[in-house]
Amino acid sequence: MPTALPEQSFAFEITKITPVAEYADGATTFRVEAALTDAAAALQPGMEGVAKIDTGETRLVEIWARPLVDWARLWSWKWLRIE
């Protein structure tokens, strides 16, 4: 995909995430709408773009243990009567 400004980064704020995943070319993607927080002079109204958002990495054990940790937290709140 050709791009006009491949080496330039732009700050943006996500305004909408579509809750339907799309799988293509070995990658799962979500359609996201965003608004630029710092509009650059090189960008014109009506231009579209593609962005990659890095959300960081999580160890697999943290992903698997999450439901157990949530259950233990809720059980302890119930036992201690914390609301």
Angstrom distance (rounded) from CA 74 to CA 83: 10
Helix (H) or strand (E) holding 15: strand 12-24
Q: Encode pLDDT of 5-48 as tens digits.
A: 777 777 888 899 888 888 888 888 888 888 888 767 777 777 77
What's the rounded Cα separation, in Å, for the pair 35 and 26? 28
Per-residue CA distances from 78 to 48, 69, 72 (Å)? 49, 14, 10
Q: Place 82 in a pLDDT band, splitting at 50, 70 and 90.
A: low
**Spacing of C-alpha 45 from chain mean position:** 24
Break the chain into its structural domains and give their ranges. Answer: 12-80
Whether residue 1 has pLDDT greater than 50: no
pLDDT score for 68: 93
